[in-house]
Structure 1
Amino acid sequence: MKKRLTILALAALISACSNSDWRTASREPAGIAPDPQQEQAAVIEVYGADAFSWRGWFAIHTWIATKEAGADQYKVHEVVGWRVQRGQSALYSYNTATPDRYWFGAKPEKLLSIKGEKAAELIPKIDKAVEDYPWKNEYKVFPGPNSNTFPAWIGQKVPELGLDLPFSAIGSGYAD
Structure 2
Amino acid sequence: MRLFKRLTLLIGLVYLVPSLAAAAYWASQTHPANWRAADWSSARLLPDPAKDKRARISILAARTGGFKGAFAVHSWIVIKDAGASNYDRFDVVGWGKPVRQNGYEPDGRWYSNRPEIIWQAEGDKAAALIPDIRKAIAEYRYNQKGSYTLWPGPNSNTFVATIMRAVPEIDAVLPPNAVGRDFLGPSDFAFYDRSGNLNLTLYGLVGLSAGSKSGFEVHLLGLVAGFDISRPALKIPAVGRLALM
TM bin (shorter chain): 0.7 to 0.9
1:77 & 1:95 partners in 2: Cα distance?
8
Question: Equivalent of 2:87, from 74, 95, 100?
Answer: 74
Secondary structure at the counterpart of residue 125 of structure 2 = helix
The one-letter code of the counterpart of 2:100 is Y
Aligned counterpart for 2:100 among listed residues 56, 77, 92:
92
Give the whole-Å Cα distance in 2 for the aligned partners of 1:15 and 1:58: 14
Match of 1:127 in 2: 134
TM-superposed deviation, 1:54: 1.2
Q: Secondary structure at the match of 2:102?
A: strand
1:10-41 deviation per Cα after TM superposition (whole angstroms, max 9, x unaligned)? 9xx95974322210210111011121011110
- Per the TM alignment, residue 141 of structure 1 is displaced from its structure 2 partner at its CA by 1.0
> Unaligned regions of 5+ residues in structure 2, if any?
1-22, 185-190, 192-245
Matched pairs, number? 159
With a CA cutoff of 8 Å and minimum separation of 6, indicate the structure with the bigger relative contact order.
Answer: 1
State how far apart, in whole Å, the 2-side matches of 1:95 and 1:43 are.
19
What CA distance in whole angstroms lies between the structure 1 residues aligned with 2:103 and 2:172? Answer: 22
Distance change >3 Å, CA 148–CA 124, structure 1 → 2? same
CA distance in structure 1 between the aligned counterparts of 2:72 and 2:89, rounded to whole angstroms: 20
Bigger share in helix = 1
Shift of 1:94: 2.4
Matched residue, 1:6: none
SS at 1:172 equivalent: coil
RMSD of aligned alpha carbons:
1.9
| Residue ranges of structure 1 left out of the alignment (5+ in a row) | 1-9
In structure 2, the residue matched to 1:113 is: 120
Check 1:112–1:157 CA distance in 2 against 1; reply closer, same or farther (3 A cut). Answer: same
Aligned to 1:101: 108
The list of structure 1 runs, each at least 4 consecutive aligned residues, that deviate by more than 3 angstroms after superposition, is: 13-18
How do 1:10-25 residues align onto structure 2 when only pairs under 5 Å count?
14=27, 17-25=30-38
CA distance in 1, matches of 2:97, 2:72: 22
**TM-score normalised over the length of structure 1:** 0.84
Matched residue of 1:112: which SS?
Answer: strand
1:171 is displaced (CA, Å) by 0.1
Kindly indicate whether the alpha-carbon contact (under 8 Å) linking 1:27 and 1:104 is maintained by their aligned counterparts in 2.
yes
CA distance in 1, matches of 2:142, 2:33: 28
Query: Partner of 2:151 in structure 1?
Result: 142
Change in Cα spacing, 1:72 to 1:106, as seen in structure 2 (3 Å) is same
CA distance in 1, matches of 2:127, 2:103: 17
- Provide the residue aligned with 1:173 in structure 2: 182
Kept after mapping to 2: 8 A contact 1:63/1:147: yes
Distance, in Å, in 2 between the alignment partners of 1:121 and 1:158 is 11
The equivalent position to 1:40 in structure 2, one of 50, 53, 70, is 53
The normalised TM-score by structure 2 is 0.61
Q: Contact 1:29 / 1:101 at 8 angstroms: preserved in 2? A: yes
> CA separation in 2, counterparts of 1:130 and 1:61?
17
Describe the SS at the equivalent of 2:40.
coil
Question: Does structure 2 conserve the Cα–Cα contact (< 8 Å) formed by 1:17 and 1:54?
Answer: no
User: Which of 138, 153, 160 is the aligned partner of 2:162?
Assistant: 153
